[in-house]
Amino acid sequence: MNIVDVTMVRVYLAEGRKDLMTVEKWLQEKSNIHGYTVFRGIEGVGRDGHRHTASFIDLSSELPIVIEFFGLPEQVDVVLEHLQKLVRADRIVSWPAKSGI
Amino acid sequence: MNIVDVTMVRVYLAEGRKDLMTVEKWLQEKSNIHGYTVFRGIEGVGRDGHRHTASFIDLSSELPIVIEFFGLPEQVDVVLEHLQKLVRADRIVSWPAKSGI
Amino acid sequence: MNIVDVTMVRVYLAEGRKDLMTVEKWLQEKSNIHGYTVFRGIEGVGRDGHRHTASFIDLSSELPIVIEFFGLPEQVDVVLEHLQKLVRADRIVSWPAKSGI
């Protein structure tokens, strides 16, 4: 087995916002990554100090969404370059990791 | 665009525990971080080997909660120093990453 | 307090698949890690381009599951070596981090 360097990426978005659709569409149709996983947070506190929480009353509130993927560093670099045009750059975090191929 | 060094932090807590409220209150009111995201796990197996699982019967069980945030390393250092007084240190994990500002 | 080097691990699986049970059973009964957390994604797009999404109609679809844990690097190395026999290696990602003990 080969353990190789990869880059992990997490992109912080929110439910119901237009950029979420744009990012997913681009990742699926145009990017070179093999796949990604989407997580929904139960609460997000943003820059504005505004709190978005899941509750039984308002299930459709703007809950935080994280899109996560990883890939070979040179492939992910290409993805990040384009992603930064779709999403505010401070919503994208990446770091080096290891995975098997 | 500027890509800068940041520190990512994940804090592992559990639903319904007092320290969760304390940590969130402190992050919102006193810390210098811009925001954070809260995730709920569907199962946690702890040090005690005790298993906490989401089920239809007991939705209020002590499910794992993760609070995640990132920020400039020197800002996060200050946050971590205080967090370690609120939460057992082995529940806090941090690592270097990159983000745009 | 001691802040030490740890290795973070995320293992990408899917609900309802046999390897999820196998991995959890092994982690609980045989591995040297103190605990782990399980997260369910709301959507996964895999290698095949196939999309698995949570919906009100089909709650039992093959949603992505992530098992996360961390530990001392030398302990995690042992865990990873065995995990790679249970799970395809490209479903396991790990990276260095810091935590308190």
Question: Which of B2, B34, B98 lies at the smallest CB-CB distance from A94?
Answer: B98
Q: What is the pLDDT along chain C (101 residues), one digit of tens a residue?
A: 689 999 999 999 999 888 899 999 999 988 888 899 999 999 998 766 667 776 554 545 689 999 999 999 999 999 999 999 999 999 999 999 999 97
Kindly give the parts of chain B with pLDDT less than 50. Answer: 57, 59
Q: Cβ of C9: how many Cβ atoms within 10 Å?
A: 22
- The SS3 of residue B6 is strand
Question: Which of C42, C49, C89 lies at the smallest CB-CB distance from A38?
Answer: C42
What sign does the dihedral B6-A33-A12-C101 (CA atoms) show?
A: negative
| ipTM for the assembly | 0.88
User: Do the Cβ atoms of C37 and B90 come within 8 Å?
Assistant: no
Shortest alpha-carbon distance between residue A96 and chain C (Å): 7
**How far apart, in Å, are the Cα atoms of C46 and each of A27, A35, B64, B88?**
12, 5, 26, 37
